[in-house]
Structure 1
Amino acid sequence: MTLVIENVTKTYQNFTAVDALSFTIPKGESFGLIGQNGAGKTTTFRMILDLQETTKGTISWDGHPMNSVDRDLLGYLPEERGIFPTMPVEEQLYFFGELRGQKRKDLKKEVDYWIERFDLEDKRKEKAEKLSKGNQQKVQLIASFIHKPAFLILDEPFSGLDPVNKDLLKEAILHLKEQGTTILFSSHQMDHVEELCDHLCLLKRGQSLFSGSLLDLKKSYGKIKLAIRSDHSLEQLLALDGVASGVQKKDHVLLTLRDESYAQSIFDFVSAGNYIERFSLDYLSLDEIFKLKVGEPSGEVLAARETTL
């Protein structure tokens, strides 16, 4: 089963929230939709779920229009959180599962599994209002996929979670992916997108700046991030041909090159009769590319060559 979004536009009077957006998510893939606040991510999610109509374009699941798809095949964690404050944790999960057409006896195994996996065993009978914000978030996360949806949308799922619980969620996403669930999620934390997604769509003001493979996005810039630990000063390295910018880190110098082809001549310079502890050439991180494409670049990538994608 595949999700296909084709030339989708959503307008509100004179405002265009999403503009001719297209991308495809194959079955069992984890796909990232990223962009700044107001880029159109949540609007896109709501159109996929048929909570809002498209102004133009089509959205289909396995070749069928989204508005004809069985709702029980879908799972959704909205950015605006909300669970029943006086209902115990265990009952919340049964309730949301039954709401999606599951029988209570069939849900027991899943409820027990996820309560244990998310370290909520001692909170099973506790009312949601008594839980910490992080544990409330975990309950709502489980509720979004307790019915084993074929397609799951997670809108900023890592928000409000501490590092330990973020790792639990990442493991859960990978587990669901292995079970064949197709996952679409947004996150402002680019390292999570980088770790969990093979493909992504980068939005700015409702328009797609890039849609495709994360590796292809990185390759379009080339390997222009160069870390050097040697006896050479930042000033010496900045004077070399092909160096666009550089910063002094705690134990190394980080350079941004105009093109990766300059790396060889820089290596020849720093290695001439000198000891090199580190010489590492790599792609820009997704966070750095994101800042170049949709926001203000950091000092480390300020002068990087922008590539038309």
Structure 2
Amino acid sequence: MDNATSDTTGLAIEVRGLVKRFDDTLAVDGVDLSVKRGSIYGILGPNGAGKTTTLRMILGIIDPDAGMRRVLGHKDPQDVARLIGYLPEERGLYPAMKAYEAIAFMGALRGLPLAEGRRRGRELLENHDLGHAADRQIRQLSKGMAQIVQLLGTLVHDPELVILDEPFSGLDAINQGKLEVLIRSLADKGTTVIFSTHVIAHAERLCEGIAIIAGGKVPFAGRVDDARDRIPAQVRLETSASEGPWKAALPQETRRVGQFWYFPLPETGIEPLLRALIDGNAGIQSLSIERAGLHDAFVAIAGEAAAADLVTRPLSEVA
């Protein structure tokens, strides 16, 4: 096998024009992606958008009907399968297997010697506050603990590329937070992490780059900041005066909600407007500039219908 690290593009994943049909259904329609090595990348979209199908084509589990994919510098993902860790959306472990053995078994499937997998399995469980569960059978673990065991099995062979399909699904708020920390630690040591999600909060906090996918298409792929910049920042202004010559300085799009005025940040910046408000005796009580969130960007890019199934609630309410 060629050395996967010999690729000089700086990309862990390069995908161009991927297409996949299932009978009469066009599941993925011309997807383009570029994922830098060592980055955290999110594939964001509602259920049924084509996220899982796209990931499976990248992994080589299924072949595209058209398009090109390059994984760790290789056109055939199977050439570098041992350098990849994959957590599928459908979780599954042997119920009678002990936790550390399950981790070792998953490592063995990627070429890790079983004895080394057992050693690493116990070590990983200990490092993630699950040392007490190492010798317990999977059937004796909570759903969340079993999911963490499967995640550790995905990582036990020290992969260069980790692909996680809806990894936060089914985890409580505490374990979701722990998973975020783990994903960041993987990226810190140079591992590329790609995960799919329909939960905006995870992508907004973790990802440098994202692909927004809806209806099998990718209307946006790039930096999170660039997605948010599709919508102008909003200004929230509170004044003690309700009328006066200063109102003429407010942008045409200004709307009032309660005691606040809302309007897009002017292209000229906030300083000229501030001077006009002060000179016009508006009586500024408060002023804040609020940048658009990723959910607002998603709606602007993909539409309200595509955003309907996305989760925007805090972590404590998502589990």
Equivalent residue, structure 1, for 2:67: 57
1:10 partner letter: K
Q: What's the offset of the Cα at 1:291? A: 2.6
1:236-259 alpha-carbon deviations (Å, 9 max, x no partner)? 99x9534455656xxx84835285
Structure 2: distance between partners of 1:282 and 1:18: 35
1:88-117 alpha-carbon deviations (Å, 9 max, x no partner)? 211111111122111234335532342133
CA gap 1:110/1:291 in 2 versus in 1, 3 angstroms: farther
| 1:101-120 paired onto structure 2 within 5 Å | 101-108=111-118, 110-120=120-130
The equivalent position to 1:48 in structure 2, one of 40, 58, 67, is 58
In the alignment, structure 1 residue 130 sits paired with structure 2 residue 140: yes
Structure 1: distance between partners of 2:302 and 2:186: 30
Q: What's the offset of the Cα at 1:172? A: 0.6
Q: TM-score scaled by structure 2?
A: 0.80
Equivalent position SS for 1:158: coil
Structure 1: distance between partners of 2:160 and 2:88: 17
Equivalent residue, structure 2, for 1:289: 297
The equivalent position to 1:158 in structure 2, one of 138, 147, 168, is 168
The equivalent position to 2:95 in structure 1, one of 77, 85, 96, is 85
In the alignment, structure 1 residue 96 sits paired with structure 2 residue 106: yes
Equivalent residue, structure 2, for 1:279: 287
Is the Cα–Cα contact under 8 Å of residues 242 and 262 in structure 1 kept in the other structure? no
Is the Cα–Cα contact under 8 Å of residues 58 and 71 in structure 2 kept in the other structure? no
1:195-222 alpha-carbon deviations (Å, 9 max, x no partner)? 2111111111111111111122222323
Is the Cα–Cα contact under 8 Å of residues 6 and 58 in structure 1 kept in the other structure? yes
Equivalent position SS for 1:220: coil
Equivalent residue, structure 2, for 1:303: none
CA gap 1:197/1:128 in 2 versus in 1, 3 angstroms: same
Structure 2: distance between partners of 1:68 and 1:127: 31
CA gap 1:277/1:45 in 2 versus in 1, 3 angstroms: same
Structure 2: distance between partners of 1:260 and 1:221: 12
Structure 2: distance between partners of 1:140 and 1:277: 53
Q: What's the offset of the Cα at 1:167? A: 1.5
The equivalent position to 2:216 in structure 1, one of 189, 206, 213, is 206
Equivalent position SS for 1:86: coil
Count the aligned residue pairs: 291
The equivalent position to 2:262 in structure 1, one of 252, 255, 267, is 255
Q: What's the offset of the Cα at 1:228? A: 4.0
Is the Cα–Cα contact under 8 Å of residues 61 and 69 in structure 1 kept in the other structure? no
After the TM superposition, which of the residue ranges 170-179 and 67-76 deviates more from structure 2? 67-76
Structure 2: distance between partners of 1:231 and 1:80: 56
1:216-237 alpha-carbon deviations (Å, 9 max, x no partner)? 22223232x223455478xx99
Unaligned runs of 5+ in 1: 299-309
The equivalent position to 2:235 in structure 1, one of 208, 221, 226, is 226
After the TM superposition, which of the residue ranges 139-148 and 254-263 deviates more from structure 2? 254-263
After the TM superposition, which of the residue ranges 41-50 and 68-77 deviates more from structure 2? 68-77
Structure 1: distance between partners of 2:304 and 2:255: 15
What percentage of residue pairs aligned between the two structures are identical? 31
| 1:18-29 paired onto structure 2 within 5 Å | 18-29=28-39
Unaligned runs of 5+ in 2: 6-11, 308-319
Structure 1: distance between partners of 2:211 and 2:192: 15
Is the Cα–Cα contact under 8 Å of residues 48 and 66 in structure 1 kept in the other structure? no
Is the Cα–Cα contact under 8 Å of residues 245 and 257 in structure 1 kept in the other structure? no
After the TM superposition, which of the residue ranges 56-65 and 264-273 deviates more from structure 2? 264-273
1:34-76 alpha-carbon deviations (Å, 9 max, x no partner)? 1121111100011111111101011112332134423211111
Structure 2: distance between partners of 1:246 and 1:84: 59
2:235 partner letter: L
CA gap 1:109/1:291 in 2 versus in 1, 3 angstroms: farther
